[in-house]
Structure 1
Amino acid sequence: MSLLPLEDALAKVDGGIAPLPAEQISVAEAVGRVLAEDVAARLTQPPSAVSSMDGYAVCSSDLQTQPRTLTRVGESQAGGPFEGTLQSGQCVRIFTGAPLPAGADAVIMQEDTDVDGDQVTFKEVAFDGKFVRRAGLDFSKGDVLVKAGQLLTARDIGLLCAMNVPWVKVYRKPRVAILATGDELVMPGEAVRESQIISSNSLMVAAMVTAMGGVPINLGIAGDTEESLRATLAGLNGADILITSGGVSVGEYDLVRNVLGEEGLDIDFWRIAIKPGKPFMFGKIGEIPAMGLPGNPVSAYVTAFIFLRAALKKMQGLPFEQDKPMKALLGAGVPVNGIRQEYMRAVFSHDDQGRLVATPYDKQDSSMLGNLAHCEGFIIRPVNGEALQAGSETDVIYVNDSLLSV
């Protein structure tokens, strides 16, 4: 069976994934969520002219020369404005954020005054608008300031609050069912017999799902029998996507494709031209998308990094896309590449000219979680790429487990 090129596989997964419905939540819970509709300001900010300094509100025509002494006739605080109208020859004590009194058009900082009772001598001239925040300086009622498809940051939450928006519509969090397969697997902390290994893939993928804004549903470990796999799949109800780990290669006990086929799985493709991660499967069980990750942990991570992250983005209203690669210099040579696009684990540094340098690990075995956990990114080697010496330019991508790009 031929290997499906990566770009073709990405296009097929993109076509099989759809954004989830929207839900309304409190703005206090909305950080890290993606807006499903535009949001307009419900008020003007500031609603009227306010002071940007602690000082005195004045008529600028009174202070065209200095020094000049005016009579203080009141005070304006945020929440306690001066109710009268300022006349020529008068001033009002004012504090930052307080409304500018009627008749005033400027503020002089308190540091530029001398005060004697209600007589205030000004040592600075004034002009119309000095230290004044005009009404609507930030935004006006009806302005669309936060748009559909936007991933909400802490700054956006502050803006939404200032807009007087208590609720927002966001795309629902994806519910991701995760199933590990294999008689050889045991959970962390359990007794490990000879020929058994710790199940790391399912919890690693669950952690990625959480970091990407989804809700992982751990279905546990299915043994290498049809009965065990069917029983474990009973927990699939209510999930938006199924992720399996292991059981999709050509081995004698690889039952996932057969059992899921009996459950209604329609396989779109199986086996792709990437390294590590060739035995990757994508299809649907009814209307639920299903991804089959390889059993080797690095292969499972790389395929989840490429396909699952993009799928979770789209399900939450973001574009189905990869983080953009960047250029770096190789810190060590790399050999000729074969017919699969390779993702080599690497550490990054900078040379004395500030250029990014990517140094691959000597060992790239797909079972080695140690250098996967400590790597900072991947060197992307193209199909049939020629051997490169240290110092050559190459494409790299940072490892990033969250919705936000590095």
Structure 2
Amino acid sequence: MTDICYPNKHNLLSVQQALLEIRKAIEVITDLEVIALPQALGRILADSVVSPIDIPPQRTAAMDGYAFAASDISAGHPPKMQLIGTAWAGQPFLAPQMPGQCVRIFTGAVVPSFADSVITQEQIEVDGNTVSLPLDWQPYKNIRAAGSDVKQHEELVSAPKKLTARDLSLLAAAGVDKISVKRKLRIGFFSTGDELVPLGEPLATGQIYDSNRYLLAGLLSDPNHMVSDLGIVVDDQFKLEQTFRHAAQQHDVIISTGGASVGDADFVKQTLEKCGQVSFWKLAIKPGKPLAFGKIGECWFFGLPGNPVAVLVTYEKFVKPGLERLAGAPATQALRLRVRCDSPLKKSHGRQEYQRGILCQSADGELVVRLAGQQDSHQLKVASQSNCFIVMDAASSGIDAGEMVTVEPFSAVL
């Protein structure tokens, strides 16, 4: 694919090629740390965990009811039993039992050794200490076997995995209080540009507030990241080189925004070439074509465009998968849906586009998407109002309203 915007005709990498290059280049970190279970939500499990016990550890009642031995009930007679005690969750009934006796039992309580059946409380009648069963009672019901959820030495959670609340609950049920996880990534990010002003300062003519650092801070919010905001670097190649070299010594990954294009004050690519190496630069994507990926020493580098919507797209499509790879997390894939589009979509042939859309569900359950607004890559309000990308292949030249399109909801991954 050829770059039609510049006379020297650089070749552009496709989105898929660039992503493959990133994943091939980056090797998973090997450093681990052992942490307590309450701190493990969202962390990446380094070593698979096996259960030290059966879950549940003993036979337990699945329902509130009465525990008894089915062989004690005579066939063909109105079944009656003598109530001799109660088994509570955490307080088992341990007294000996005679034939024809039963125990009141509650959900989760250990089933007495003599019992092989539990009948629910809704099915019986109680008169003093006499429990009457219905004629159609069924034996061997409502008992959870020891290890019916997990057997001792069975694998609980397989590494690598980003731990969910469900995983923590399972680990806790097995009595696991400490686990081995991948260490956190050290990530530094900064913005470049003489036009950028920090919040709290007045704007002069030609200046804008730096929004990209707030966007990146939010996107990088993850239990597996230790993030450093390195501020704003002016358009000065010497200062940019100093920042690169110093940050590379302290971080696993550096992310910059701005200065990645071909203007006279765009120094990111040439500075990266001087300090380290550039794996690729320009991509067949819109927004976000000028993206530099490379390495400074042992530190990976992503030079993103300056327009904030391009930062959003390139982070989601390239930086996030790169960070997942480095951290040892399983690769995620955005959920893609084919839905009807209520808006006509304009597009030039040649680059894969990620337009910002609003996905909603009609009264009859059909998913429908429409454009969130103008698609210029500086328009943050449209990005704020959108909830999905409308993905248009490089070969597409647009569609008419009513046609089917591919969307990627922001809040769903597989």
Match of 1:104, as an amino acid?
Answer: A
Q: Per-residue deviation at 1:298?
A: 1.0
- Deviations 1:125-178 (CA, angstroms, capped at 9, x unpaired): 544322211222211101113111222211111111111211122222322110
Aligned equivalents of 2:359, 2:104: Cα separation in 1 = 57
Q: CA deviation at 1:62?
A: 2.9
Q: 1:258-293 CA deviation, whole Å, 9 max, x = no partner?
A: 33333x320011111111111110000012110100
The residue that corresponds to 2:14 in the other structure is: 5
Where do residues 80-99 of structure 1 align in structure 2 (5 Å cutoff)?
Answer: 80-99=91-110
Moved more, 109-118 or 331-340: 109-118
Partner letter of residue 15 of structure 2? L
Task: Tell me, yes or no, if the aligned pair for 1:177 and 1:219 is still in contact at 8 Å.
Answer: yes
Separation in 1, partners of 2:131, 2:331: 63
**Could you tell me how far apart the structure 2 residues matched to 1:38 and 1:186 are?**
47
SS of residue matched to 2:175? coil
Amino acid at match of 1:73: I
CA contact (8 A) 1:269 1:281 kept: yes
> Are 1:34 and 2:70 matched, yes or no?
no
Taking the aligned partners of 1:387 and 1:119, their CA distance within structure 2 comes to 78
Q: How does 1:321-332 map to 2 (within 5 A)?
A: 322-332=333-343
CA contact (8 A) 1:184 1:197 kept: yes
Distance in structure 2 (CA, Å) of the matches to 1:97 and 1:323: 40
Match of 1:257 in 2: 269
Match of 2:249 among 222, 237, 246: 237
Aligned to 2:229: 218
Q: Which runs of 5+ in 2 are unaligned?
A: 1-9
CA contact (8 A) 2:358 2:369 kept: yes
Find the counterpart in structure 1 of residue 64 from structure 2.
54
**Amino acid of the structure 1 residue aligned with 2:52:** R
Summarize the alignment of residues 129-148 of structure 1 with structure 2, pairs less than 5 Å apart: 129-148=140-159
Fraction of identical pairs, as percent: 36
The aligned counterpart of 1:394 is: 405
Q: Structure 1: 5+ residue runs without aligned partners?
A: none
Give the conservation status (yes or no) of the 8 Å contact 1:336–1:386.
yes
Q: Is structure 2 residue 205 aligned with structure 1 residue 189?
A: no
| 2:413 alignment partner in structure 1 | 405
Q: Which amino acid aligns with 1:48?
A: Q
- Is 1:18 equivalent to 2:32 in the alignment? no
Distance 1:316 1:129 in 2: 49
CA contact (8 A) 1:242 1:289 kept: yes
RMSD between aligned residues: 2.2
Give the 3 Å change call, closer, same or farther, for CA 297–50 of structure 1 in structure 2: same
1:295 aligns with 2:306: yes
- CA change 1:119–1:323 in 2 (3 A) is same
- TM-score normalized by structure 2? 0.90
Separation in 2, partners of 1:322, 1:137 = 33
AA paired with 1:6? V
Aligned partners of 1:190 and 1:208: how far apart in 2? 24
Shift of residue 213, structure 1, vs aligned partner: 4.2
- Asked if the contact 1:306–1:322 (Cα under 8 Å) also holds between the matched residues in 2, the reply is no
Structure-2 change in CA distance of 1:320 and 1:130 (3 Å):
closer
Q: TM-score of the superposition, structure 1-length normalised?
A: 0.92
Aligned residue in 1 for 2:391: 380
Within 5 Å, give how 1:66-145 maps onto structure 2. 67-123=78-134, 126-145=137-156
For 1:251, give the aligned amino acid.
G
1:15-55 C-alpha deviation (Å, 9 max, x unpaired): 22222233222122212222222211110122222222233
Deviations 1:80-130 (A, max 9, x none): 222234221222222222222222111223344444443333346544322
Amino acid at match of 1:19: V
* Cα displacement (A) at 1:185: 0.7
Q: 1:95 to 1:353 in 2, by over 3 A?
A: closer
- Secondary structure of the residue that 1:366 maps to in structure 2? coil
State the SS of the aligned residue for 1:203.
helix
* Aligned-partner SS, 1:205: helix
User: Which secondary structure does the structure 2 equivalent of 1:302 belong to?
Assistant: helix
Question: How far, CA to CA, are the matches of 2:135 and 2:109 in structure 1?
Answer: 21
What is the match of residue 284 of structure 1? 295
Residue equivalent to 2:54: 44
Does structure 1 residue 337 correspond to structure 2 residue 321?
Answer: no
SS of aligned partner of 2:399: coil
C-alpha displacement of 1:347: 1.3
Alignment check: 8 A CA contact 2:288 2:314 kept: yes
SS in 1 for 2:289: coil
Q: 1:257 to 1:329 in 2, by over 3 A?
A: same
Contact 1:86 / 1:104 at 8 angstroms: preserved in 2?
no
Deviations 1:204-235 (A, max 9, x none): 11210114842321111111123432444434
CA–CA distance in structure 2, aligned partners of residues 107 and 320 of structure 1: 46
Question: Measured at CA, do residues 98 and 321 of structure 1 come closer, stay the same or move farther in structure 2, by a change above 3 Å?
Answer: closer
- On the 8 A contact 1:212/1:309 being kept in 2, the answer is no
> Structure 1 residues 106 and 126, CA, compared in 2 at 3 Å: closer, same or farther?
farther
Q: Secondary structure of 1:358's match?
A: strand
